[in-house]
Structures are given as C-alpha cells and as structure tokens.
Amino acid sequence: MRGLGTLANVATVVLGTVAGLLFGRRVPERVRDTVLWGIGLLVVGVGVSSFLETRNAVFPVCAIVLGGLVGELLRIEDRLEGAGEWLRARFEGPRQTLDAATPSTFVDGFVIASLTFCVGALTVVGSLQDGISGDAQLLMVKAALDGIVSIVYAAAYGWGVGFSALSVLVLQGVVTVLGVVVGDNLLDDRMVAEMEATGGPMIIGVGLRLLDLKQIRLASFLPGLAIAPVLVALFAVD
C-alpha cells in the first residue's frame, strides 16, 4: 500500500510524543537535559557523516547558498514558526501579555521536530521509493527512529512536538505522490548523494539548536534539498 510508510511515521511521532508527555516529565530535569544533549551530539555526528557523502563539495555549497537565498525570500522559517504559533494559539489559547515576548516551547518543539524529521535524504528517497514501488521499508526504519526521538523531544519541549507529524504528513505525502506520478527516473545515485550532503549542514544546525549553541534559521535552507539534484543534473560530469 503506497503511503503506508508515511502513515506509520506520523503514528510513531504522535505516539512518541504521548509517551514523552506521560513518562518523560517524571524524569528529573537534569536527566532530560543530558539525554537531549546526547541526541544533539548524535545529530551533529549524523550531519557530518551526511556531508561526507559528497563527491564534489561545490554542489552542496552552492545548494546551501542558493537555498538560503530562496528560503529567506520566501520567509520559510518565519512561516514555519508562524504555523507553530497558530497551532499553539488554536489549542492553548492566547498567550498572556507578560510572556508574549518569551519564546514558546510549543513553537520550539514544533519547529525543531519538524526540521529533524523532514531534513535528510532518507525522507525524500524513502518517500519516492514508497510512491514508485510501494516499498515502505526505508520509511519504516525512519518511523522507528523518529518515534524514539519524539519521546525525548516531547519530554523537553512539550506537545508541540506531536504537531510536527503534520509536517511529516505533508512533505512525505507530496514526495510519495511525486514518486507515483513521475516514476523511478527522477533521481540517480549521484543526485541522492549530493542531496544528502546538502542536508548534512542542516542536520548539524539542528544539533547546534538542541545544544543551545546557535539558533540558526534552518528552515530557510530547505530549498537547497531540491536545488542540489538540479545542479547535479546540469553540471555533473561523472
């Protein structure tokens, strides 16, 4: 059944969030912080490993720069945060005047979880594979990993993490439909490698946010994931 992998991914994020809310809050804050920092370090490591997949660093560099320009013109980060704030207001009600200027953990959880679960070649390749052949194996692996991470995120950031399932549903659903329509000639191995390398620095940025080292406007770089395979198609010589 095409789309099953995405539905499973949505379910694990929601269930992981529920588990994190039910049990994570019972864990001492220092333990939650340590686990979250551990996830942050692992995320940085995954990002570095992804970047090393490149066969020519010019492709991810150009994709990141061009993607950042497009993302800022489209105000993707602001729109993502705005969506998180709209969801928070919808389900929590208006914020009090005194805390209106304080960053919302709901929005932080939604944005960070959305970026974590949606950035990376596994998201695109797994969804394309699901759409092309109905093989959801890659997305099932991703679903399990996202479910575990969502437990930790929900314990730290609250139930805004669960709403990142909407981001997963929209992005992976669109890519799965694209796979059904276009078929298996969309991406070759080189395109996938450079797309993964482009996602590497974004994943590192997620880790930096988890470690409270730098609040990078990561969503603005997301167009780079689409730009990288286009650059490969136009300029790769091997």
In this structure, which long-range contacts are made by residues 184-193, counting pairs with CB atoms below 8 Å and at least 24 apart in sequence? Answer: 184/132, 184/133, 186/128, 187/124, 187/125, 187/128, 187/229, 190/55, 190/232, 190/236, 190/238, 191/228, 191/229, 191/232, 191/233, 192/121, 192/124, 192/125, 192/229, 193/53, 193/54, 193/55
Q: Render 148-174 in DSSP notation, one character per residue.
A: HHHHHHHHHH-GGGGGHHHHHHHHHHH
Show the CA angle centred on residue 81, arms to residues 75 and 87, nearest 5°. 135
Q: What are 232's two structure tokens?
A: 């490969």
Per-residue pLDDT of the chain (238 residues; tens, 9 = 90+): 788 999 999 999 999 999 999 988 788 888 888 989 999 999 899 899 989 989 999 999 999 999 999 999 999 999 999 999 888 888 776 655 445 444 578 999 999 999 999 987 778 888 988 988 888 888 999 999 999 999 999 999 999 999 999 999 999 999 999 888 876 667 788 988 898 899 999 999 999 988 988 888 999 999 999 999 999 999 987 6
Domain residue limits, the chain: 4-235
Amino acid at site 41: L
Radius of gyration of the chain, Cα coordinates, nearest whole angstrom: 18
